[in-house]
Structure 1
Amino acid sequence: MRGTTKANKRLCGLFLIIGQLVLFATTGSAQTVTIPIETAGHALVLQVNNHKDLNIIYLGKKLAQKEEYGLIPNSYRQYSDYTGLYNSAYTPSGGRNLLEPAITVTHADGNNSLDLRYVSHKQTWEGEGVSLLSILLQDPVYKFDVTLYFKSYFKEDVIEQWSSVSHNEKGNVILYKYASANVCLKADSYWLRQYHGDWAKEMQPEESRIIHGIKTLDSKLGTRANLFQPSMFMISLDKPATEDEGYVMMGSMEWSGNFKIDLEVDPQNNLRVIAGMNNYSSPYTLKPGEKFETPAFLYTLSGNGKGEASRKLHAWARNYKITDGKGSRLTLLNNWEATYFDFNENKLVELLKDTRKLGVDLFLLDDGWFGNKYPRNDDHAGLGDWEENRQKLPNGIASLVKEAQANGVKFGIWIEPEMVNPKSELYEKHPDWVVRQPKRDEYYFRNQLVLDLTNPKVQDFIYGVVDDLFSKNPQLAYIKWDCNAVVYNAHSAYLKNQNHFYIKYVEGLYNVLKRIRVKYPDVPLMLCSGGGGRVDYGALQYFTEYWPSDNTDPLERIFIQWEYSYFYPALSSSNHVTDWGKQPLKFRTDVAMMGKLGFDIVVSKLNPTDLAFCQNAVKTYDAVKHIIFQGDQYRLSDPQSNSVASLMYVNHDKTTAVVFNYLVNNRYEEGSKMPVRFKGLDPAKKYRVKEINLYPGVNSSIDTDLVYSGDFLMNVGFNPVVNSGRTSVILKIEAAV
């Protein structure tokens, strides 16, 4: 937890006293309780009515007068709510509810109804600007409890919601649905921005109006769950939000397995968002006294468009969620596209020398270094057998780590520890550790199967893979953790109740990652899942970065990275310069610099000028990466609708900024015909604009002697002169002394 000053503590205590105030209103003999959850700009307001139903009466801009929250329900004259539950904070099923429930159960006596009434609530302060509200709900007939949790981050305007279910009935209870959150929004209309994709086609956006009925975003893949559809989304109120205008909610599940997000426009034209783990094939048997806790649903609101909401999420992620979110990241050279599976120790030694020559921090050894009985010479064999291949690496990983040290660079390694090839010693020895149906044919995804992480022995094995690498090689500096298969024929030889498989798998994964982070808290880990198949904050709390896509064509990457950047800050995005695409080396490098820079090229085949450019680019990047990692991000020109894509990072004191500009459409002599309006600068400050990361021998036409006011640069703009001859331009803006 970050340190706090006495003044900050007094300030946070004050906002908890007056901002999280509990308000009481009396109507006749009945009493209502109003519970506002306030952040810097917004409020989620809960109210307990005289029947002890807990409802959401408001989610929007914070009011100046706290006592007026209780008056909100009287301001609406909508169609009748026959149930009193349309805006329930956690909608039960089987009773008087007529809409999509947040929770569905069968009690120990076979009764399918549930009624949840308010009992009590409490608040705790968990650090500077962070509070946790818990609200206890109980069924008045059954010994069945639900506790709702609302964790608010005051400065960042972010809320996490989750639930906990328990009971003391005389027998087991079956949970058929168990959402993390049940959020209600009021507006004239609602617009959804969602994403779809596949391998190398990640984060393709679609926007549509949400109409009556239920729109569902979900995954049933078990692992690598985001392959076709991630859980990230945006909802605009009244009209589609732009970058800087409109009311928008950004939300996402913090869960790396099957998820389900139901979006329902109710009979009153309100929008209900019910988000949680997917209950597909997963009725959960809950024993008396056992607690079932759901993962968090995360969201933020903005009244000033998508850009502001995005910056709030970035600040929250850096401050509270991503491992080493306030730190830096290592540049690297990866061997994958230089060698694929065809390498030996001598080749790798030469690549280590190239790593030093290039000037990056680390060499990453990718797939293919392991397996002896079944050597990993392609993707058909070896997964699960995590010992060095004696033919390729006769002296083991240790000699490579030592060689890296001799060259003044660090050494990292690729693993895919959750997976197994049928052609492996692990599969032969432990077929009971593999996710597969015993009476059905095996069906493979990338020639592999998934290990059963519900099994504690498998968890120990996977933890041991990582621990063994570090025990033998204490100087190992980086892990790339891959996951390339989905779950087919879901079955666990370990679990007695197969309905628990999809949930217990992810919990098993998190158990392993927690153990790794306890013992190795500072080691950088890349979250890679065939590209962006597992990008969520449930996983990213254990990783320093993620791999957005195996598609490294720089033109495609502009679009992919652009959409990811709404939800994840730049320091978490791993971007590599490769030989994919037809764009020049400078273009490819400039695109990769919009995050955590890496190279996956054959350095020895670069001509002297290209090599000099790459070496200078690394130095340039090292000088500005702190702005990219920790600065505020502004999207200036969207590649989806413009011929030039422009994106900007500004440091917090607004003295320095970096602007990336790319030509994404070269038809009809397209280019930056109009100036690009900058954002986030101080209008009163004076700035100089300089082009950086130039290719050797190329002189910039931009006059660095001119001085512009921040007001001019943000309202008139600046033309980066992007055209078919200058397809990529990076600008550095510095306050004039």
Structure 2
Amino acid sequence: MLKIRLSTNLLPLCLLFSLTVFTSTRSEAQSIVIPVETQHNALVLQTDSSKYLGTVYFGKKLSKSSEYAQVKNQSKQTVDYTGMLNSVYTPSGSRNLLEPALTVTHSDGNNSADLTYVSHEVKKIDGNVSLISILLKDPAYNFNVTLFYKIYYKEDVIEQWSSIKHNEKGNVTLHKYASANLHLTGSAYYLNQYHGDWVKEMQPEESKLTHGIKTLDSKLGTRANLFQPSVFMVSVNKPATEDEGTVLFASLEYSGNFRTDLEVDYQDNLRIISGINNYASPYTLKPNEEFVTPIFLYTLSTQGKGVASRNLQNWARNYKLLDGKGTRLTLLNNWEATYFDFNESKLAGLLKDTKKLGVDLFLLDDGWFANKYPRNGDVAGLGDWEENKQKLPNGISSLVKEAQNNNVKFGIWIEPEMVNPKSMLYEKHPDWVIKQPKRDEHYFRNQLVLDLTNPKVQDFVFGVVDDLFTKNPALAYIKWDCNSVIFNAHSATLKNQNHFYIEYMRGLYNVLERIRAKYPKVPMMLCSGGGGRVDYAALQYFTEFWPSDNTDPLERIFMQWEYSYFYPAIASANHVTDWGKQPIKFRTDVAMMGKLGFDIVVNDLVANDLKFCQDAIKNYDTVKSIIWQGDQYRLSDPRSSNVASMLYINEQKSSGVIFNYLVSSRYGANSNLPVLLKGLDPAKNYKIQEINLYPGTTSTIKGDQIFSGDFLMKVGFNPDLNLARTSVVLKVEESN
């Protein structure tokens, strides 16, 4: 876990953030008011007469900061019998009657906790980012919790986490240890959550939250997002639309077991408590040991989902995603061309195809390794990271050189966290594998998970990557897969099995930290059987993620739409494959809405298909910076219309690209109405031209027409989609 220390020398408060401490002017006991303000919003914390700290406001920022002290007086709700319903970090065992953020057993066996305000500090990190720390203490025990709020002012984003520490005479047991405890007030709350499975990722469900607790969680250990991602939205008062309504976007930045409780209490307020899933994980905390929780990420928008998503996308590119402001490599992957059946001769041909296609890099997928148990399928060889001598007698280095001879780069697939029971690694180190000693082994995709709580295993996994780069310094790309969940959770070397799930994630992050310390900029794709491990803790180490193994372009329109609420397009790896019934143009257009790649047999393409792909890559090069770094606007929702339409536009509002698709094949389906554009400058004039045309076809769009931004946002523009034109890409340029 990352440990963050605050300087004891406080810097002057920046007026930009308005992070001022106010003292109430009321005649009763003084209270401390702490406004946690971003550009448009405020999360206001306030102590009562007994120094209990609660949330009194979370919403649009007030113009007069001094009035935050009066917010609490305006509430006429039913009595709070506990005085803790709005607690900023609710403990259990004392007065609390609802779901806690913290549950402990003290060293003397006492199961109660109480937390009161002691002090807080503000540190300005730069002109946009500040960090607030708030110290809370149990009055009866030498037990402290520090709450951290990292504020990204312009992006309206807050990262929140907790640090737990004590100096009692013996060990303390943490039974629950949340990262954050939010409190929202409204007349109703609507949860938009996600579920799925392999090739069915990011399926949205929206429902009204009723009284009681709704829990979003994972107990899978790894590949934790397989069935339920940690991202979610909560609309306040009414379901938010793209451009209207108050909505909170949130997620835990964690790649392991997570838990988010959403509780509507008897006062009709919503409490959100999120952190590591405490399932099977009581944590023994030693005196002076610090337990730091993962980060809980959130942004609030009072102008609908579109603003919230652009907040997160901008924040991710600027602060979290590895090389978020950089560039990306287009590629050709061999997986669907060869699967496990290849040799040097086949790969040499694919390297030539990479050059012919016009992409930057060739990616060699699964099947290149293992000798005693050759990797000719997914049943053997995983863990034995040596080149297969029959397939590659001259090794990876010869392929890297061949790639250089073709003026392309070379990348490779690995799955270093996993092992097949049929492998030399398993035979040599059965104690390195996660399994219960008294239970039968249970396999997921014919494999087991290596025990990353073991430092020797961490060294091994790091060595898989390090050896590849040591032997092949010109290696330019890693596809990192993770296909199994954890069954029979047990470590042969860990002394306290209650710590297993937490120590496993610490081990994984330790490996990734080591890799990035030595290879800070090498592009790496985060793949986990699709979107099984997509979160911002992991994306600190990866340049992109693989949304799904389902590359049917029609399905991908819906998946990429949902992912785009939380992740920027530059992070989404989208490949053109043979999945689906759509023509090559449709498949390529869909893949262009992110980081473009191909997984096709180039030699099987007819002449016009090849020509289209080559031209599309050139077109992509002219607009990719807008797609990767521009503001994204969802124009027409495929779930409620025959048309899916997505706009990306640059910061200057001078250049953009619109992707339009017909998602219905029913008779007469078309874009019967114009699509209303968003994000343009109403005072500017624009020219709209169709690009990415298939060879031999002509556009029905008159590219010489000029429209004002005002017209395009109020009247709209029709992309002229129909059953003969199912995919249309439009370039928008400012015109005189």
AA aligned to 2:482 is: C
How many Å separate the matches in 1 of 2:697 and 2:28?
Answer: 81
1:486 corresponds to: 485
Q: What pairs up with 1:82-121 in 2 under 5 angstroms?
A: 82-121=81-120
Give the SS at the match of 1:536. coil
Q: How does 1:609-624 map to 2 (within 5 A)?
A: 609-624=608-623
- Cα deviation for residue 328 of structure 1 reads 1.2
Structure 1 position 260 matched with structure 2 position 259 = yes
Tell me the distance in 1 between the aligned counterparts of 2:120 and 2:735. Answer: 54
Q: Give the structure 2 partner of residue 589 of structure 1.
A: 588
Instruction: Output the CA distance in 2 between the equivalents of 1:224 and 1:705.
Output: 50
2:8 matched residue in structure 1: none
Partner of 1:542: 541
Q: Deviations over 1:601-649 (max 9, x none)?
A: 0001111111100000000001100000000000000011111100000
1:4 match = none
Partner SS state of residue 148, structure 2: strand
> For residues 127 and 317 of structure 1, what CA distance do their matches in structure 2 show?
17
In 1, the alpha carbon distance for the partners of 2:27 and 2:155 equals 40
1:24 aligned partner: 23
Query: In 1, distance between residues paired with 2:25 and 2:107?
Result: 38
Give 1:31 shift: 1.1
8 Å contact kept, 1:195–1:229: yes
- Counterpart of 1:372 in structure 2 is 371
CA distance in 2, matches of 1:97, 1:374: 58
The 8 Å contact of residues 12 and 129 in structure 1, kept in 2 or not, is answered as no
What residue number does 1:288 align with?
Answer: 287
Check the 8 A contact 2:433/2:451 in 1, yes or no. Answer: yes
Displacement of 1:106 in angstroms is 0.5
What does residue range 450-489 of structure 1 map to in structure 2 within 5 Å? Answer: 450-489=449-488
Aligned-partner SS, 2:627: helix
Cα gap change, 1:720/1:174 in structure 2, threshold over 3 Å: closer, same or farther? Answer: same
Q: Judge conservation of contact 2:434–2:490 (CA < 8 Å) in 1.
A: yes
Equivalent residues in 2 for 1:85-234, closer than 5 Å: 85-234=84-233
Percent identical residues? 71
Superposition misfits of 4+ residues, deviation over 2 angstroms: 10-14, 26-29
1:403-452 superposed Cα distances (whole Å, 9 cap, x missing partner): 00010000000000000000001101111110000111000000000000
CA shift at 1:513, angstroms? Answer: 0.5
User: Aligned equivalents of 1:540 and 1:429: distance in 2?
Assistant: 33
Q: 1:607 to 1:668 in 2, by over 3 A?
A: closer
- What SS does the aligned partner of 2:667 have? helix
Cα separation, 2, equivalents of 1:537 and 1:623? 29
Q: Note if 1:429 corresponds to 2:432.
A: no
Match of 1:723 in 2: 722
- CA drift of 1:12 comes to 8.5
Give me the whole-angstrom Cα distance separating, in 2, the residues matched to 1:701 and 1:664: 19
**CA–CA distance in structure 1, aligned partners of residues 426 and 658 of structure 2:** 50
Matched, 1:529 2:555: no
CA contact (8 A) 2:13 2:122 kept: no
The 3-state SS of whatever aligns with 1:453 is: coil
Asked if 1 retains the 8 angstrom alpha-carbon contact of 2:411 and 2:476, the reply is: yes
Q: Are 2:18 and 1:14 aligned?
A: no
Displacement of 1:11:
12
CA distance in 2, matches of 1:487, 1:76: 47
Q: Distance between the aligned counterparts of 1:589 and 1:434, measured in 2?
A: 41
* Structure 2 counterpart SS, 1:330: coil
Letter aligned with residue 642 of structure 1? S
Instruction: Return the alpha-carbon distance in structure 2 between the equivalents of residues 41 and 324 of structure 1.
Output: 27
- Structure 1 residue 399: deviation in Å? 0.5
For the residues of structure 2 that align with 1:479 and 1:409, how far apart are their CA atoms?
15
Q: Hey, what's the Cα distance between the residues in 1 that align with 2:63 and 2:452? A: 50
Instruction: Specify the SS of the correspondent of 2:633.
Output: strand
2:13–2:19 contact (8 Å) kept in structure 1? no
Give the equivalent residue in structure 2 for 1:416: 415
Q: Which residue of 2 aligns with 1:444?
A: 443
1:243 equivalent in alignment to 2:242: yes
Moved more, 119-128 or 416-425: 119-128
Q: 1:248, 1:303 within 8 Å by CA — same for their partners in 2? A: yes
Whole-Å separation in 2 of the counterparts to 1:339 and 1:125: 53
How far does residue 14 in structure 1 lie from its aligned partner after superposition? Answer: 2.2
Task: Tell me the secondary structure at the aligned position of residue 127 of structure 1.
Answer: coil
Q: Give runs of aligned pairs for residues 337-736 of structure 1, distance below 5 A.
A: 337-736=336-735
Q: Which amino acid aligns with 2:241?
A: T
- What is the aligned-residue RMSD (CA, Å)? 1.0
Task: Give the Cα separation in 2 of the matches to 1:422 and 1:319.
Answer: 42
Partners of 1:149 and 1:476 lie apart in 2 by 40
Q: Structure 1's 603 and 11: CA in aligned 2 closer, same or farther, altered over 3 A?
A: farther
Cα distance in 2, alignment partners of residues 218 and 729 from structure 1: 39
Question: For 1:697-726, what per-residue CA distance to the aligned partner results, in whole angstroms no more than 9, with x for missing partners?
Answer: 000011111100000011100000001000
The C-alpha deviation readout for 1:517-572, integer Å capped at 9, x for no partner, is: 11111100100000000000010011000000000000000001100000000000
CA deviation vs aligned residue, 1:448-485 (integer Å, no higher than 9, x gap) = 00000011111111001101100110000000000000
Q: What is the one-letter code of the residue matched to 1:427? A: Y
Asked if 1 retains the 8 angstrom alpha-carbon contact of 2:13 and 2:20, the reply is no
Name whichever of 214-223 and 27-36 sits farther off: 27-36
Amino acid at match of 1:484: N
Give the direction of change, closer, same or farther, for the CA distance of 1:329–1:205 in structure 2 (3 Å limit).
same
User: Cα 1:346–1:402, aligned 2, differ >3 Å: closer, same or farther?
Assistant: same
Q: Deviations over 1:29-77 (max 9, x none)?
A: 5110000011000011111111010101111000000100010000110
Deviation of 1:690 after TM superposition, in Å, equals 0.3
1:331 equivalent to 2:330? Answer yes
> What amino acid sits opposite 1:184 in the alignment?
H
Q: Using the alignment, how far apart are the partners of 1:357 and 1:302 within structure 2?
A: 46
Residue identity opposite 2:657 in structure 1: V
Secondary structure, in 3 states, of the residue corresponding to 1:145? strand
Query: Which residue identity does 2:718 align to in structure 1?
Result: N
Deviations 1:580-604 (A, max 9, x none): 0000000000000000000000001
SS in structure 1 of the partner of residue 70 of structure 2: helix
Normalised to the residue count of structure 2, the TM-score between the two structures is 0.98
Q: Distance in 2 between matches of 1:338 and 1:494?
A: 42
CA–CA separation in structure 1 for the residues paired with 2:301 and 2:492 = 47
Q: Does structure 1 conserve the Cα–Cα contact (< 8 Å) formed by 2:275 and 2:293?
A: yes
Structure 1 counterpart of 2:16, one-letter code: F
Query: How far apart, in 1, do the equivalents of 2:12 and 2:643 lie?
Result: 45
Q: Does structure 2 retain, via aligned residues, the 8 Å contact 1:650–1:658? A: yes
Pairwise CA distance, 1:128: 2.5
Q: Quick one: distance in 2 between partners of 1:571 and 1:139? A: 45
Supply the distance in 1 between the matched residues of 2:493 and 2:708 (Cα, whole angstroms): 67
Q: Which residue pairs with 2:305 in the alignment?
A: 306
Q: Secondary structure at the match of 2:24?
A: strand
> 1:26 Cα shift?
4.6
> How much has 1:102 moved relative to structure 2?
0.2
Per-residue CA deviation, residues 474-497 of structure 1 (Å, 9 max, x unaligned), is: 000000000000000000011111
Structure 2 equivalent of residue 6 of structure 1: none
